[in-house]
Structure 1
Amino acid sequence: DLVAVGALQACDELKRRVPEDLAIIGHDDIPVADLVSPALTTCRVPRYELGAKAVNALLERLRDCPGECNQTVLQPELVIRESAP
C-alpha cells in the first residue's frame, strides 16, 4: 500500500486523475489506505492467519526435519474503494 500511496502522489503531481486516467491497487490494507484521496483499493491478506500458519509450518519442519514442503493457500479479500472501482 505504501508504494500505491506514492503512485497516487505521483499521479497528482503529473495531473493524472485516479481512477479516470488509471487505476491503482495496493496490497496489505494498511490504515492509511482509506485516509488518502482517492481512498485506495487494496488486497487485504489475513495477517493473523498468515503468521499462525507460517509459525506452525516452521515448527513442523524443525520437529520433523526438512522434507517436502506443503502448500498453503490463504483467501485474500479485495477491498474496493475509490482508486480502482
Structure 2
Amino acid sequence: MSLLKNVTAVTLSILFVACMSYNAMASEELFTALDVDQSGTISETEASAHSALSVIFSEVDADGDGEITYDEFAAAGLDK
C-alpha cells in the first residue's frame, strides 16, 4: 500500500512542490496519489485540490484535453 494514500491535501501539495526537485520514484508515487480516481490521468478537478498544481494545470496539460497524463507530468519536469 502506498504511503501517500492517507495524507491530507495540504501534505500532498507540499510533497508535490518537494518532488518537483527531488526524485522520479517519489514523483511517480505522487502522480498516482494525485490521480484520486485512479484513471491514469489527473483531471482539473483533482488538480484543483492542490494549489501548486492548480496554478500550472493548463501549462502542464500540453494537449489541452483537461487531463494531465504521466507523460505530460514528466515533460513538464514534474517527475524530477
**TM-score normalized by structure 2?**
0.28
Q: Which has the higher strand share?
A: 1
Q: Which has the higher helix share?
A: 2
Mark the structure with the bigger radius of gyration: 1
